[in-house]
A and B are shown apart, each in its own frame.
Chain A
Amino acid sequence: MVEAREAPSWGEEWIEANRRYWEAWAGVMGQTQEPSSNSAAPEWAESMQRWLRLMAPPMPPTSRELFNRLAEQGKLFQQFGEQLSATLSQFSGPADGGLAAFWKLPLDTWSRTVSSASVFPGDFLESHKPDVWNQLADGFQRDLERFLSVPGLGYTREAQEEGRELIRLALEYQRALQDYAGTFRTIGPETLARLQQRLGERKEPVTTLRALYDLWVDASEEVYFELVATEEHAQAYGRMVNALMALKNHGRNMVDEIVGALGMPTRRGLSTLQRRQQELQREIVALRRELGEVRSLRGEVAELQRELQALRSQPIREPPSPSPRSKTIRKKSKEA
């Protein structure tokens, strides 16, 4: 019987590809030539992806998510090293410039995070620069707005108007999103300038990639904070979120109209039910509390009735004459 071949330890394939990649790169480095994204790189990247896919399934969700984040950061850092080394090989001087692609990396990570919360993919923004948008506004948008201002006609008048309102809100959101994204436009060059400033202030030179990366993060956070802590940014953020909510709200109302017409439960109806259910729950809690108090009072009344019954069953006696002590007390209390 042929023994089942033992599966290669996970990661083995990736390690091997990684090794070949680095060896290829080291060879290029040794000749002090520009290390290109050579033929080994795609293989390495592809191998890593395969490896990631291979090992991701058995992991619990938290670890898998972290795993993905780490792998992503690892790739970015390796790109950092590759690009920095390429620059160093070319110029053999300080790496204060020529790394524009890397400088964008942390921001790219953040952009992806931001875009995940948007209704549109992050790349959607990339293709619409504000100046391009402004040009559009001069032509296409003006025509579109003219079209949108035409009153609805006929039996479907209401539906036409709702559809136009949806387009108008989408345009408004797009504009607000562009404005918001525009507030980040200067962050890259400003961060680079801040990094250069920080490097200039140092007494000791930076000798490791990691130290340079940390300086870059510090500079990025500083510049970012200065930007987002402004009233201008807060207003742009508010406009963007409000425009998005207005768009979503209108869209949902339109969907409600359709599903309502089909005799299906609507969001509006469900919301009414939820509100009433909560109000009823509050009333039940209040009633329970009152019921508890009533029960407690009933118990007290029953106790008092028992005491009264006991008192009634006792023979009536003459009240005792007041003692000298109680007289003194009364006198004291009067004085007080």
Chain B
Amino acid sequence: MPSVQISPERAFEEVRDFGVKLQRGLKVLGELGEIDVGATPKDAVYQEDKLVLYHFRPLAKTVNPIPVLIVYALVNRPYMVDLQEDRSIVRSLLQGGLDVYLIDWGYPDAADRYLTLDDYVNGYLDRCVDVLCQRHGIPAINLLGICQGGTFSLCYAALHPAKVQNLITTVTPVDFHAGTNLLSLWVRHLDVDLLIDTLGNVPGELLNWTYLGLKPFRLTGQKYLDLVNVLDDPVQARNFVRMEKWVFDSPDQAGEAFRQFIKDFYQRNGLIKGEVRIGPQRVDLRRVTMPVLNIFAADDHLVPPAASRALEQYVGTGDYQAIEFPGGHIGIYVSSKSQKLIPPAICRWLAERV
């Protein structure tokens, strides 16, 4: 039996149908207008340079007295956690009775080129934590770190353990050489000093290009053909465009912070070796003694599960839990499956540790 049985007539019909769908879809696309992001009302409660600290307005009775501060990565934009009403991890956390804050790092420009990890972790992040502590009259808060923001949260928790009551890390790289980590492999032979000395800040476009390079055939081709099948539905088209907007909304990276992150974390794998220094202090993960909930994605192509799973070996806490989500790096926040699994698990876990 031949492995391909496509008659010319069938092929013709399929391509013709595709053309019709594409044409209809493009018409829908042309009528979508501006795409809004961020579904939940929020207020800026603190600003410094380009950073804005947001407080989400409660959607239910707040049952947990300890607020949660979401620390997003420097790459891409934090509105991914509140992309749209039915794809909002923030909304689900609020409905679960949590008081939620979010750090928006902003878009660094040339004036921010010399921002270091010390400025981000011991500076901006620490001052945001202080704001929450003052607002709520408490000595410590709950931290929820996302991806690189999870790594920052880990560093912060190790450097300021008294200010973190509970730590949640999601798709967070810890062992940067574990698993098949393409990003880690690709930067292994880069002269990062030369890169930063030449570029100053690292363009967001360069990061986009790198991420596309992880799965070029799916991300530059197949994804768009899949879209054609649903594009005649304005709701689905709008959802897709919104996601697309987020995917390519990549801020430039402050040069010095990027330099240190790539050299110390990716190239030297210093976090698990206790060799990373942020400001004057060494980051010792054994000082992470508060309860830790580590959530990672089984099909993560950016942060392999092994890179996150390693956390258990290095933290000093006796209260460690892990959740492996059956999905990918982004799906863990925006898929309908994640909305049912992740926020309730976080709310439950925090409620047991008030």
Contacts and interface: CB of A to CB of B under 8 A. Distances in A.
Interface stretch (A140-148, A156-164, A232-240): A232-240
A283 B26 CA distance: 54
A190 interface: no
B2 A88 contact: no
B353 interface: no
Contacts of A134: none
B83 to A, nearest CB: 13
A120 B319 CA distance: 54
A199 interface: yes
Contact of A245 (B22, B29, B194): B194
Interface string B23-42: 10111011011110000000
B46 interface: no
Interface string B6-36: 1111111011101100110111011011110
20 contacts: A62-B35, A63-B32, A67-B29, A72-B224, A74-B22, A110-B216, A113-B212, A199-B4, A206-B4, A208-B6, A212-B6, A214-B222, A217-B221, A217-B222, A228-B186, A229-B180, A239-B189, A242-B194, A271-B113, A278-B113
A206 B27 contact: no
A82 interface: yes
Given A82-B15, A229-B185, A271 B200 contact: yes
Interface in A218-236: 220-221, 224-225, 228-229, 231, 234-235
A70 B23 contact: no
A202 B3 CA distance: 7
A285 interface: yes
A301 interface: no
A205 B244 contact: no
A274 B113 CA distance: 7
Nearest to A75: B22
| B interface majority secondary structure | helix
B354 interface: no
A11 B188 contact: no
Contacts of B221: 73, 76, 105-106, 109, 217
Interface residues of B, number: 71
A15 B5 contact: no
A14 interface: yes
B110 interface: yes
B274 interface: no
A207 B8 CA distance: 11
B114 A275 contact: yes
Contacts of B222: 213-214, 217
Given A66-B240, A279-B114, 19 more contacts: A11-B26, A32-B8, A62-B245, A70-B228, A88-B7, A88-B11, A95-B4, A95-B6, A106-B220, A110-B216, A206-B6, A212-B6, A228-B186, A229-B180, A229-B182, A238-B190, A245-B191, A245-B194, A278-B114
Contact of A85 (B8, B32, B194): B8
B248 A88 contact: no
A113 B220 contact: yes
A96 B23 contact: no
Given A70-B26, A205-B1, A246 B188 contact: no
Interface string B238-282: 001100110010000000000000000000000000000000000
A98 B70 CA distance: 53
A169 to B, nearest CB: 12
Interface of A: 10-11, 14-15, 18, 22, 25-26, 29, 32, 55, 58-60, 62-63, 65-67, 69-74, 76-78, 80-82, 84-85, 88-89, 93-96, 105-106, 109-110, 113-114, 116-117, 196, 199-200, 202, 205-210, 212-214, 217, 220-221, 224-225, 228-229, 231, 234-235, 237-239, 241-242, 245-246, 248-249, 252, 270-271, 274-275, 277-279, 282, 285
A210 B225 contact: yes
Contacts of B218: 217, 221
Nearest to B194: A245
Nearest to A112: B220
B217 A224 contact: yes
Contacts of A10: 27, 30
A228 B16 CA distance: 36
B44 interface: no
A116 B212 CA distance: 13
B11 A67 contact: no
Contact of B190 (A55, A72, A242): A242
Contacts of A88: 6-8, 11
User: What 4 A-B pairs have minimum CB-CB distances, sorted nearest first?
Assistant: A238-B189, A81-B15, A199-B3, A278-B114
Contacts of B110: 270, 274
B113 A234 contact: no
A228 B186 CA distance: 8
Contacts of B63: none
